Amino acid sequence: MHDLETRILELEKLQAQQMIELKASGANIVNSLSPSNILKSALKDVAQTPDLRNTVINTAIGIGAGLLGKKLYVRGSKNIFKKISGSAMQFVIANFVRKKLPQMQNNNLQHNHEN
């Protein structure tokens, strides 16, 4: 009977230790799923992947060019049609720049290798 009580106490201690580890593991999972940590992880992946990093940079430049084009076209106009056409122009410019940047970069690299 004494061995049985000893074994029960050992198992209860083991269960308590496992419960502590399980709670810590759960807290780590919740922490890793927080929006800020997901964003940090995504940015880290982007920074470590050259092709993805270039795509993100090209997209950001395209969006910036699109916004600039819209601002220059609309210029504070109250005309709804001008605003709508400005938004369309923004989309077209952003996509055009995003698609043309890699070609321009490749042409620049080829030109530099020829010299």
Please tell me the distance from the alpha carbon of residue 16 to that of residue 9, in angstroms, as a whole number.
Answer: 10
Segment 10-40, tens digit of pLDDT: 999 999 999 999 888 888 887 777 778 777 8
pTM, two decimals, is 0.51
* Mean pLDDT computed over 96-100: 87
Does 46 have pLDDT greater than 70?
no
C-alpha span between 74 and 89 (Å, rounded): 10
Q: Which amino acid is at 95?
A: N
CA distance 72 to 93: 12
What is the residue whose two structure tokens read 């609309």?
A: 74
Tokens linked to 2: 């004494």
